[in-house]
Chains A and B, each alone.
Chain A
Amino acid sequence: MADYKNEFGWFAEKPKVEKKIYDRNKVAIGIVVFLVIFTIAFWKNLGKAVPPPKPALETAAIIKLPEKERTCVEDVEFMRQRHMRLLVDWREQVIRDGERYWTNSKGEKYLASLSNTCMECHTNKTQFCDQCHNYVAVVPNCWGCHLTKEEQVAKAEAK
């Protein structure tokens, strides 16, 4: 760097800026806070192995059916991904159009009813519906109106 000179002599040298991490402690705290917050999902699950939910299919009503007839109204993949849409379609069809019967993709007719069709076989809400709903933190509003037979039994026993 060029030296600066005035009429009185030298007056400037190259500034010596210290090379270091400034405010080291504050920066470290900031980085730690950032890491802790952003890895929260990792250390909350540390060393855990979470088994996937197993919705129970073996209700008395299903076991009673012959092996061949143990199928739902549509295939498994469709039911897993779209059963909520199906139920809402049923609701609108029954309540708005008064059409109580629904035909599936194979041409079979079913009564469009959660309590009387679905839960005829899947009588076990806590072992079936709630398994996955709780797993993915979904709160469907079906049960605001629909009663499950399980609950009625439980209530009757409590009396």
Chain B
Amino acid sequence: MDFFKRNILAALIAVLGLIAVAYVGVKGNLQLLFGVVIPYMALLIFFEGIIYRVIKWARSPVPFRIPTTAGQQESLPWLKRTLADKLDNPSTFPFTLGRMALEVLAFRSLFRNTRSELIEAPQRPEGAKLVHWSYKWLWLGAIAFHYAFLVIVIRHLRFFTEPVPHFISLLGEVDGFVQFFIPTVYVSGVVLVLAGLYLLGRRITNPNLRYISLASDYFPLFLIIGIGTTGILMRYVYRVDIQAVKQLALGLVTLHPVVPAGIGAIFYVHLFLVCVLLAYFPFSKLLHAPGLFMSPTRNMTSNNRKVLHVNPWNYPVKFHTYMELEDRYREAMYEAGLPLEIEPETMETEGEEE
């Protein structure tokens, strides 16, 4: 079994195993474990893990600014800077905030993604040429995936609030505007699964990408596709008693957990996969979410040419001035014909004699 198959199968079997665990558990009447105990544990791991990670990152000193080359940094006054330069290489706090907002909300740096490919070129002696071209599909897939996920998470708040705030029901109406099928198909759910499949397909079909993909890259994708699929199946095919589901969800958030009878096994599979995602979050690549806010290249103002930044752990260095150097090597430098501040005395007299 080659490297690729080993990694993708490990991730796939892990997710299928998790589904089986939840299914068998619920069939064995472990509703209390899967409906109450595991969700609370997963939430604790999620919050504790993320806080631990963020504090760990905050312990790393970042004394210097790391300007990105994407924009002209603020320098001499006659060097013109456009709005894009100011946002890509900000020298003031508001623009740093702007850069962060663009990164978080619009995935600015992913939008710059390029792809390098060897393209057949018979007119060339090598028969091929290397082309770098702007490649927006990854950006599109990623932004569709993340926004669909966000909409789904906010929509799910209707199970955790009573009465349901107006904006949540409004979001549900907008999301279901196609008015197709009963219950109305939510666009976000379909987009999430399709975008997830695109992100997965891209890892599998592109050989370069496949080479650098590990089980930890496939696992979250399989997991999220699994969550989306079980959710869609539960809503449109294997119906569950939604009123009992809300009772369970409200029980969790009001800290009076209840396990209403008669919720189908598929609900517990869905819930268990979500719990695994939450618990897995602080140990995985999914930490790019909080990590983005802690990225020095994104959250620091690029004012290197405006402000002097001193390394906080500088120690007093015993340094030597140029004159000390010249004093020591004056004669050798004179012989080598190097320009000197003070001509050697002996040489001077020799010169005068001549």
Contact = CB atoms under 8 A, between A and B. Distances in A.
A34 B50 contact: yes
Given A16-B313, A52-B247, A8 B58 contact: no
Given A18-B312, A137-B169, 13 more contacts: A8-B318, A8-B320, A17-B61, A21-B55, A22-B61, A30-B293, A34-B50, A42-B255, A44-B253, A48-B162, A49-B254, A52-B247, A81-B241
Given A18-B312, A49-B254, A81-B241, A41 B157 contact: yes
A47 B254 CA distance: 7
Given A18-B61, A22-B59, A136 B158 contact: yes
A85 B239 CA distance: 10
Contacts of A9: 318
B333 interface: no
20 contacts: A8-B320, A10-B318, A15-B315, A17-B61, A18-B313, A21-B55, A21-B58, A23-B58, A27-B55, A41-B161, A44-B253, A45-B160, A45-B254, A48-B162, A48-B254, A49-B256, A52-B260, A80-B243, A84-B182, A141-B179
B58 A22 contact: yes
A80 B241 contact: yes
A134 B165 CA distance: 11
A143 interface: no
A137 B317 contact: no
Nearest to B161: A44
A45 to B, nearest CB: 5
Contacts of A138: 183, 242
Interface of B: 47, 50-51, 54-55, 58-62, 157-164, 168-169, 172-173, 179, 182-183, 239-243, 246-247, 250, 253-256, 260, 262, 290, 293, 312-313, 315, 317-320
Which applies to chain B's interface (DSSP): helix, strand, loop or mixed?
loop
B55 A11 contact: no
Interface string A92-125: 0000000000000000000000000000000000
Nearest to B160: A41
B161 A136 contact: no
